[in-house]
Amino acid sequence: MTGRFPSQCRKIRPSFGRRLRNIEMSKFRHRSLHLLGVLLTGLLFTLLAACSKANPQSTFDTLGPVSRNQATILYVIAGVGTFVFILVFGILAYTVIRYRRRSPDDPDPPQIHGNDKLEVAWTIAPAIVLIAVAVPTLQGIFYAANPPTEARLTVEATGHQWWFEFKYPELGVVTANEMHIPEDEAVIVELRSVDVNHSFWVPKLAGKVDMIPNNENRLWLQADESGMYYGQCAEFCGESHAKMRFRVVVEPRAEFDAWVARQQAAAAVPGDPLAKEGHDLFMSNQARCFACHTIAGTQKARGTVGPNLTHFASRQHLAAGNLENTQENLRMWLEDPDAVKPGNLMSRDAAVYNGQGEPLTEPQISALVAFLRSLE
């Protein structure tokens, strides 16, 4: 007995050890699956939170015919994709569970080669799915590319590093970073770029379309409701790409016509002494603001490098939609534009410096602020 006991123990110990390891591995897999489930649930809720209509740039809050059409295409593709996902993974799960190896002694299943019926079926089925997705997609592409015949307003949108210029060629109006359009009317937007690739995107009104140098694209949009809509450059275009924003102001036709009339008027000559001092500084070779900006009604300010400032004070935002147009924010912008929008031309070309290469003084900045805020 004593001679056989150690060998029996040696036979028992490995079996017990394997069972113990199996138990530990089972617990580990259970904990891993639990952690994975928690992470996937958190990720799902995060993704769903990003789809909230309360987001000012939500593509699910469709407020125009183009965005509604594009959202419908998204729902069709998402629905078909979800159906295919559930079907494929359902079959996969059933196969894995139904035909799993239940015992180490189970023999290998019969080995077969090919199944003509199945192969034909899973070739035809994806083709049907693709056709079901392609039909509304192609219809949506043609719908977005061809504006309604009743569209009577055209806006030329030009992308710059890093701001948007808007021209109304039929109305003789040029503005920057705020595009005004009448409510419930189709508007054609012709897209251009003067430097690198940009992309024009107003999520609640229409999908994004690229702005490519030496190539003209266009889209059309229409807003059902008056209000302010957020726009964004959606193509990485440099250091301040994320700060290249704009607004679309939608208003009733009468208010839009009144806005056009104000924009068509030349800038008023400042009467305030401080504003007059800012005007003189703006037009001087010391600050050289006139070299980059246009102010209609003046003889010297004809620059096209920077935004048109003719009616700057009437705009609700400055610095490409990054700051509200207040006296404090305008002062901050003039003092250090690179802190607001890194890599901008005002900092790069030293337009915020005087003729001696030194920063503008506080009195000079105060005078420029007073002048710019008089441009209504």
If you average pLDDT over every residue of the chain, what do you get? 85
CA dihedral 150, 154, 155, 158 (to 10 degrees): 120
pLDDT for 271 equals 80
User: Is the pLDDT reported for residue 4 higher than 60?
Assistant: no
**Are the beta carbons of 321 and 247 closer than 8 angstroms?**
yes
Distance (Å, rounded) from C-alpha 362 to C-alpha 354? 12
**90-119 average pLDDT score:** 84
pLDDT for 8 equals 53
User: Is the pLDDT reported for residue 355 higher than 70?
Assistant: no
Helical residues (DSSP H) of the chain, grouped into ranges: 5-50, 65-98, 116-145, 253-264, 273-282, 327-335, 337-340, 345-348, 362-372
Q: How many of the other CB atoms lie within 10 Å of CB of 26?
A: 10
User: Is the pLDDT reported for residue 35 higher than 90?
Assistant: no
Distance (Å, rounded) from C-alpha 311 to C-alpha 178? 12
Predicted confidence band of residue 358 (pLDDT cuts 50, 70, 90):
low
The structure's pTM equals 0.78
The candidate with the shortest Cα–Cα distance to 371, out of 299, 263, 286, 267, is 267
Distance (Å, rounded) from C-alpha 352 to C-alpha 358? 9
Name the β-bridge partners of 233: 200
CA dihedral 193, 197, 198, 199 (to 10 degrees): 110
User: Is the pLDDT reported for residue 230 higher than 70?
Assistant: yes
pLDDT for 40 equals 79
For residue 244, the one-letter residue type is M
- pLDDT above 70 as % of the chain: 86
**β-strand 178-182 against 245-251: which pairing, if any?**
parallel
pLDDT for 19 equals 61
* Chain segment 311-331, per-residue pLDDT in tens: 999 999 988 888 999 999 999
pLDDT for 245 equals 93
* Chain segment 251-284, per-residue pLDDT in tens: 999 999 999 999 998 877 788 889 899 888 888 8
The two structure tokens encoding residue 81: 């994709």
Distance (Å, rounded) from C-alpha 113 to C-alpha 273? 93
For residue 286, the one-letter residue type is Q
Which CATH number is associated with domain 273-372?
2.60.40.420
* Chain segment 194-214, per-residue pLDDT in tens: 999 999 999 999 999 999 999
pLDDT for 328 equals 92
* CA-based R_g, the chain, Å: 32
Distance (Å, rounded) from C-alpha 160 to C-alpha 344? 10
pLDDT for 18 equals 59
Domain boundaries of the chain, sorted by first residue: 1-30, 273-372
User: Is the pLDDT reported for residue 178 higher than 90?
Assistant: yes
* Chain segment 36-70, per-residue pLDDT in tens: 777 877 777 676 666 666 677 888 888 999 999 99
pLDDT for 22 equals 59
Token pair 């079901």 is at which residue?
Answer: 132
For residue 360, give the 3-state DSSP assignment: coil
Helical residues (DSSP H) of 102-242, grouped into ranges: 116-145
User: Is the pLDDT reported for residue 6 higher than 70?
Assistant: no
